[in-house]
Amino acid sequence: MAAAAATVTVSPVAGAAEVIGIHSLEAWTIQIEEANAAKRLVVIDFTASWCPPCRIMAPIFADLAKKFPQAVFLKVDVDELKPIAEQFSVEAMPTFLFMKEGDVKDRVVGAAKDELSAKLGLHAAQ
């Protein structure tokens, strides 16, 4: 049952109160364009399958997605989609990026769940 909490659900609908796994540049573009058009906060988890802190943060990130359904939560594997990680200068995992209308508003680097939660509360209220 614990493994299910860390499962990434792929959904064609942005912001369905779940984490949306991004597995292609096309999927990335679609999700970002939809979120920008709706002026929604986008929270991106840059992760890697080999990263133990990323695995620790996965269920926390999924729980935050349920608590903040007004935001869009995306998960990007840096090894799978290196161009996106490079575009945002991601150098450590996990890195969480906060974007609104195409602009990076903030970031959290590392498995800092309290900082992630606090910044999410701050940016979701704006």
Q: What percent of the chain has pLDDT over 90?
A: 84
Cα 40 from chain centroid (whole Å):
13
Catalytic residues: 51, 54
* Predicted confidence band of residue 30 (pLDDT cuts 50, 70, 90): very high
Q: pLDDT at residue 4 above 90? A: no
Q: Please say whether the beta carbons of 64 and 56 come within 8 A.
A: no
What is the structure's pLDDT at 5? 36
Instruction: Tell me the pTM.
Output: 0.85
pLDDT digits (tens, 9 = 90+) for 88-106: 999 999 999 999 999 999 9
pLDDT of 108 above 50: yes
* Alpha-carbon gap, residue 54 to 58, rounded angstroms: 6
